[in-house]
Amino acid sequence: MALQLYIGNKNYSSWSMRPWVLLRQAGIPFEEIMVRFDSFDAGSSFKKQVKAISPVGKVPVLVDDGFPVWDTLAIAEYVAERFPDRQLWPADPRARARARSVCAEMHSGFSALRSACPMNIEASLPDVGRLIWRDQPGVRADVARLCGLWGELLAAQPAGSLLFGAFTVADAYFSPVCMRIRTYELPVPADIRAYVDRVAALPGVKDWIDGALAEQDFLDFEEPYRLGRS
């Protein structure tokens, strides 16, 4: 039986994007099960559907022959162990530890950026981005940390590489951040922008973007900056 991955709306669900891109880019077959957001109240259709397979009632959830795995880091580790031939973590022990470290930092950090700049792939919000950049020092600090982190990793690789050379969990994990930088046109150095563009051009990421653009959903509770689709 193929893996099943339960996800939310592709335009908005940054957490869903991570394992979906990981599986697609690695060429691992899976069945996508979309549970569209209606609300996050306990009685919502979304919550009822997801709670039926996961005790936390959140997406993403990976189901392998009836066995559910939730939380993006746990999913990444499970998939990497299940498909060792795909080399989803770097082979070198120190590089692997660093990759896990940066994914964990993303998992628990960058709260100002995530809060002020929710993922919205369909939208183009450069004017909003300029105001956020002007008014929110926490966002500037988060982006500075990202640029430092990515810049150090990229400097150790050949030109045009991803964070650890070939595609790894780390690139999938940071793909929603790349979407935010694009949507809000946040100012980043040329090498960082080039990395963002390389991630956006990955076939697995491009497939997710195409899916997000095709949804045509507009959810008020996910849209702090727009009253409707442009």
pLDDT at position 26, please?
Answer: 98
pLDDT, tens only, 47-61: 999 999 999 999 999
Asked if residue 2 has pLDDT above 90, the reply is no
3-class DSSP state of 166: strand
- Are the CB atoms for 69 and 76 separated by under 8 Å? no
Q: Calculate what percentage of the chain has a pLDDT beyond 70.
A: 100
pLDDT, tens only, 7-55: 999 999 999 999 999 999 999 999 999 999 998 998 899 999 999 999 9
* Contacts for 35 with CB less than 8 Å, ≥ 6 apart: 6, 7, 8, 46, 49, 50, 59
pTM of the model: 0.97
Asked if residue 208 has pLDDT above 90, the reply is yes
Distance CA 179, CA 195 (A): 12
Mean pLDDT, rounded, of the chain: 97
pLDDT, tens only, 75-105: 999 999 999 999 999 999 999 999 999 999 9
In the 8-state DSSP scheme, what is residue 220?
Answer: G
Distance CA 216, CA 224 (A): 17
